Structure 1
Amino acid sequence: MKLTDHLSSADRERVEARLDHNLIAWLTTVREDGQPVTVPVWFLMRDDETILMYTRPEKAKLKNLEANPKVSMVLDGADLGRNMVRMEGTVQRAFDVPPANEVPAYTAKYIERMQSLFGTPADFADLFAAALIVTPTRLRIN
């Protein structure tokens, strides 16, 4: 994975596993008034090293990213601030991406949560109908 090429082999293996298996990332967008806003998101690291996520079409993050497509992401972790994976990049709305319930890897990753929180993957996809693609430009760990 080119995004992690700068890391030692041990760090690369750990980070790539987290990119594949972590369920929550924290996405920061910036409001038009300059105020950063951080929200939890479900995400899928894709083979082309972009990150797919879905949001509700009425959410403020869509307005934020239209005004400023620069974002930061941090993988959720409970290691007292150690082993953090932080990314910077740009995000855009993706109108050519299938709904979440038609993306097998995304559905497989989140099926239990989709069912317990929303009923079915199709119910989730109906609510979270706006696809977003993050293109990471930098990855850092600490």
Structure 2
Amino acid sequence: MIPDRATAYGERVRRRLTEEMAIWLTTVGRDGTPQPNPVGFLWDGGDSVLIYSQANARRLANIRRQPRVSLNFDGNGGDDIVVLTGTAEILDGHPAVPDNPAWLEKYGAAINARFGDAASFAERFSVPVRIHLTRVRGF
């Protein structure tokens, strides 16, 4: 599903999924209005992305009602468009942030600077959500 890394576009998609710190997650509100929010994320190297959400975030109610979502990066002036679509799943029993070494490797310094430590971050962002990617488009 992710474009072949042998192509320039495939390489850019993989680079952004690996290096970017934020991605826009768009869910659909009860009235059908798109609800975009920037979120931290962790790409698994395959066809899914993990985020951690606040338990009271409206996006969780939106996902329960309509799990189809989109993800996109800022377009960097329109020259680097990446839009991913997929199905979101709220996870039970998934490791919290302090027990997720890959998340801590990517976000540890930012978490410590803003929240003091991973435990404080995990108290606020306690709900893991996996987005199973189904399509990528852009240029």
Shorter-chain TM-score tier: over 0.9
Partner of 1:71: 69
Number of equivalenced pairs: 139
CA contact (8 A) 1:28 1:38 kept: yes
CA contact (8 A) 1:24 1:76 kept: no
Partner of 1:51: 49
Shift of 1:8: 5.4
Which amino acid letter does the alignment assign opposite residue 44 of structure 1?
L
Q: Secondary structure at the match of 2:37?
A: strand
TM-score (norm 1): 0.91
Q: Report the RMSD for the aligned CA atoms in angstroms.
A: 1.4
Which amino acid letter does the alignment assign opposite residue 68 of structure 2?
K
Residues 51-92 of structure 1 deviation map (CA, whole Å, 9 limit, x = unaligned): 000001011000000110010100235x21221111011101
TM-score (norm 2): 0.93
Gaps of 5+ in 1: none
CA contact (8 A) 2:63 2:88 kept: yes
The runs of at least 4 consecutive aligned structure 1 residues that moved more than 3 Å come to: none
Q: Does residue 21 of structure 2 align to residue 11 of structure 1? A: no
Which amino acid letter does the alignment assign opposite residue 46 of structure 1?
D
Of 101, 104, 116, the residue aligned with 1:104 is 101
2-side partners of 1:49 and 1:98: how far apart? 19
Q: Percent same amino acid at aligned positions?
A: 33
CA contact (8 A) 1:88 1:136 kept: yes
2-side partners of 1:27 and 1:66: how far apart? 15
1-side partners of 2:46 and 2:93: how far apart? 16
